Amino acid sequence: MNHDKLAELLFPRITKTPQDYETIYPPRSLPDGAKVTRLGPSPTGFIHLGNLYGAFVDERLARQSGGVFYLRIEDTDDKRYVEGAVETILTSLDFFGIDFDEGATIDGAIGDYGPYYQSQRGEIYQCYVKELVKKGQAYPCFLTEEEISDIRAKQEANKENPGIYGHYAACRDLTLEEIEANIAAGKSYVIRLKSDGDQDPEKARVISVEDGIRGTLSMPENYQDVVILKATGIPTYHFAHVVDDHLMRTTHVIRGEEWISSLPIHVELFEKLGFEMPVFCHTAQLMKLDNGNKRKLSKRKDPELSLDYYRQEGYVPEAIREYLLTILNSNYEEWRQENPDAAATDFLFQTEKMSNSGALFDLDKLNDVSKDVLVKLPAPQLCQFMKDWAGEFQPEILPLFEGHEDYVEKILDLGRSGKKPRKDLVYGKQIFEFINYFFDEHFEIQDAYPENAADDAKEILTKYLETYDHGDDQSQWFDKIRTIAEELNYAARPKDYKKNPDQYKGHVGDVSTVIRIAIMGRSQSPDIWEIQQILGEDRVKSRIQAQIV
């Protein structure tokens, strides 16, 4: 077989050589130990938590080593391409604080190692496929879909591994003349890798790869003649990522553990192309507890898998980042306890500290972390976040914030000072539900009065209104509530009621709860006196009066 002639027959328009591309994309000039990482999402219209999870690893490894973190859009599967998906990817990642040093942008790209869209790199891939053909390491395959289906059926019947290999690789040893005749006849073809592997497990070479998370991974070599170039001239993921990671000088590849089974294919491609392999870091799948059992997060079952979920609910990006770091590195929570006020970027991230057995994603734990993050967020910053969130996801409430920032900031700061600040605020939607009683348009009575005080409610409120002085300090204000309680035969102190429950209708807490419900509409809230100071005298009196009438 004249492989040079075959290569020219298959790729007559490809004139550049691999050496040309080595010159165009030289090794990067970076400090020793600098890591080059990439995020390679597909524009399918769905960007999920796993993308963000991996992106944080990519970003930390590159940034803390003085390296480069770039974005590559892996859009070779035109059947799954969704219009506008690239913009969704970029805006979502930007929202969560993922910044790239180079790569694809909404307007094009930044950097010297592009194009950063795989769909624009066709000639590069074909150059390297042509080189494999020249070396007799790849060949055109004319098997039809029907023929491949027949092969699969035979393999199933014989209980053999599926795929094109061994005697099933019918086009592997075609002569140049046979190939020319097939092409002249207009037969469609793909290009397959001509694997050197042996399908016999006892004869197969064992490959070993040092995984950045899992340590040494050992497995049998690849023996499949996988497709590397489709009939359309577009490469498969297996081939494209090997070429791209080499030419873009990627040092570390962060990807999910579902790719471990493909590692033998990638190892063979790196070897045949003569490329140095990057460090592969296979992350554990994100799991959740479902009725006490761990299972993989599902696009169909779990809305929290989508990044849109967190944007729509109104989680601040800092909370998501903080929580993911607790999942990503086992020592992060301990570090955070020792460094409560330090920036998350001060933490030394290590792949060796990552779980390899399934990272448990717990929405309740995220909410707890979010509370800790929000309690430290200055009220003006939180107010601006609420405005931005409302503007995008609940525009009908935006007028309550715009032009009323001072009022909103006081509301958001309620109970957040002192040695033991309240941690009531979790995410945008919950925050508004928690504070909406401050806005007359959303105020409503949600809870019933305490059963033992319901008959006295109007009298309690009447006396409260008669004695109300907005200028009272907290002590004066509560003394008046105690007086009302005593006048109506409620214990002035809960402990008195506990000692002698038969002597009282209830205690001062029941009386204050009646007042709380009249003003806030609910039985649980931060301090009543502080809330009244924010609401203002007129609004307080108006709400009390409305419950008396």
Q: Rounded to whole angstroms, how far apart are CA atoms 383 and 425?
A: 12
What is the 3-class SS of 381-443, one letter each residue?
HHHHHHHHHHHHHCHHHHHHHCCCHHHHHHHHCCCCCCCCCCCCCCCHHHHHHHHHHHCHHHC
Q: Which two tokens stand for residue 309?
A: 């979920």
Residue whose C-alpha is closest to residue 306's, from 41, 44, 50, 42: 50
Q: Which DSSP state fits 84?
A: T
- For tokens 């002639």, the residue is 5
Query: What letters, b where the CB count within 10 A reaches 16 and e where it falls short, cover 267-286?
Result: bbbbebbebebbbbbbbbbb
Extended strands (E) in 2-128? 36-39, 68-71, 102-105, 108-110
Residue whose C-alpha is closest to residue 237's, from 39, 42, 24, 88: 42
Judge contact between 299 and 272, C-beta under 8 A. Answer: no
Q: Rounded to whole angstroms, how far apart are CA atoms 385 and 375?
A: 14
Helix (H) or strand (E) holding 252: strand 252-256
Q: Is the alpha carbon torsion for 146, 152, 153, 155 positive or negative?
A: positive
Catalytic residue among 294, 299, 353, 499: 299
Helix axis angle, 3-10 relative to 122-134, nearest 10°? 160
Residue type at 80? R
Among this protein's residues, is 365 annotated catalytic? no
CB neighbours of residue 293 within 10 Å: 8
CB neighbours of residue 105 within 10 Å: 14
Judge contact between 265 and 238, C-beta under 8 A. Answer: yes
Pairing state between β 102-105 and 108-110: antiparallel
Q: Which two tokens stand for residue 399?
A: 């007028």
Q: Which two tokens stand for residue 276?
A: 């140095």
Alpha carbon distances (Å) from 527 to 94, 271, 390, 531, 537: 38, 68, 26, 6, 16
Residues labelled catalytic:
299
